A and B are shown apart, each in its own frame.
Chain A
Amino acid sequence: MTHKDYSHNTKIATLKASSSLNKGYMVFLIPGVLLFLLIIVFPLLANIGLSFTKWSGVGTPVWVGFTNYMKAIRDSYFLTSFKNALLLVITVTTIPTLIGLLLAGFIFEYILDKFGRGIAIFFRVGFYLPQIVPIVVVGIVWRWMLQPNWGVLNWSLKAVGLDTLTRSWLGDTSTALPSIMMMMIWFQIGYPLVIFIAALQRIDPVVYDAADLDGASRLQRYFYITIPLIRPEIFVVVLTTIIYTLKTFAQVYVTTKGGPGRATIVPSYFSYQNFFIRSRVGYGATITTVLTIIIGLVAIGFIRMQIKQEQEG
């Protein structure tokens, strides 16, 4: 942004003007802040408070101090839920991001040149389409496809003679979580793809001149120059995907409800069970408090890392 040089007088006038402007603007903050305090801050604090109580949801909560937290550390469901969340984060963040990077490059560098804008847009739209659909519906569609006896996947496997590969995808402890991962990856690919394509569009082609002169191949150019240049976008994609994945709920609710056994239990769903089905509101609050703290730490850690990188780079 270019800064214009004001003359001395105008500067003073501007300063005076801005300080009176400043006060007036506070008013516009009030509705947002009030609503925010009411809808976000108050419940958050109440939730943290509830995590120290034992409560069935009706009547008065009973203060129990750190009992819930102690219980959580020893609860295999609690620990497994976070383990599953970690596994989900790792797969659902890295794989779609990598695929997104590769596909973006492919579409931008190759398809765009060879086949023109129309086809490129078709690809971009096609990959992004799942993101438009409610995650609930995605879960339903995948559950339908993974039905063990008549679902599309097993049917297809049988049709090509791969009977032995058929599984009870959502019902088998070893394949349940991977199935959900597949579903989430399918859902998620469009997001990094679209962001990276836009990122590629903002790169000034001048940057590539030196590389082209050196005779670098397109592939080399992409990996060594382009990708480092779009680091800000990669950062945003990774951070937002991690946070989103840590909050997984509807995917599990609509398919396996945490089963079989503990194979697909995740913190959000586990807290839901405790809040609403097992009437252990205090314990549910404990789970969500821990989850919030973890998300907060991840976010802060990431942002710090990025600020550091920006300073260095």
Chain B
Amino acid sequence: MNQQTEALISIQNVDKRFGTFQAIHDVSIDIQRGEFFSLLGASGCGKTTLLRMLAGFESVSAGRIMIDGQSMADVPPHHRPVNMVFQSYAIFPHLTVRDNIAYGLRKQRLPRLRRYEMVEEMLDLIKLPGYGTRRANELSGGQRQRVALARALIMRPKALLLDEPLGALDKQLREQMQLELRALQKSVGVTFVLVTHDQEEALTLSDKIAVMAAGRVLQIDTPAGLYENPANREVAGFIGNMNFFIGKVIKTGPVMADLQVEGLGHVQVETSVIRQPQNARVLLAMRPEKLTLSLDPPEGALNSVSGTLHTTAYLGGLRQFYVMIDGRADPVAVSTQNQRRAMPQDIEQGRKIWLSWHNDAFVVLENT
């Protein structure tokens, strides 16, 4: 058995029941060595439960969990080769930072000097040199989070489990910590498994993301894969903004297929992405930034349609336009980058607007 190609963590057909409530349904996930893997989903989707099952704080109702080829059945948390960073950080208040970080080293019976050395190395790693003698209540939230990281990493775990570690921080600090976390993982090379409800966070940090809802995995893919090729409507709607269109297959040619789409009229997509037969209904999804907005009819062979401007939203780096088109009840969301500092004259509501897009702008989802 070649250990290098086998997944580090293998969750196989796992169920979890709390009494009569089923929290996890038949979940299977493989996490590779050195990967930054995220479990993404709304509150109550089961992602934290899954993480706690990896750590050993929840038992498995059905299926099994393998870590580095060993089954984790009946193995309690203190014997597992993984370590966890808790949502509340759980920094021990009665110990100093140094004693917190060195906490798990007791069983190794290292000489005290060696322990302190290792702690100092860790403190440098998390950019808090010299903080060893401070107490937990003297630290800020961000500092405590880093101590929690150090405390777990010093154990040389095979995987580091993080339960919404950045949730308690304000936006600025969170974004800064995200970048630091990513850099840390890359430099240290340990497998990270992160749980979050913040899709931006997941997209920023991860090599692979598992999107979960109601105890099931909807899709496992890279961030780009999830964003550009969502497998179904749920994933498409969960990640970022999305416009949905209902269409009908008119004709499937050898290269391109013709669709009749509400509001947009006649649309062409590549035949390879159509799995539905002729006359079948399809659901098309298009990201707001894949549409181009113009005041005049666009030139060239781009697909286009006209509509009227409904509302705009200014988001600093982006502008979001909502455009009403005939044949469709909801407005179409279009986003453009604000590349120039001087604002163009505002487009008044009700103005006639042209939208255009490329052939590959659509994603075709299952026909629901």
Is B truly associated with A? no
Report A's interface with B, CB cutoff 8 A.
none
Report B's interface with A, CB cutoff 8 A.
none
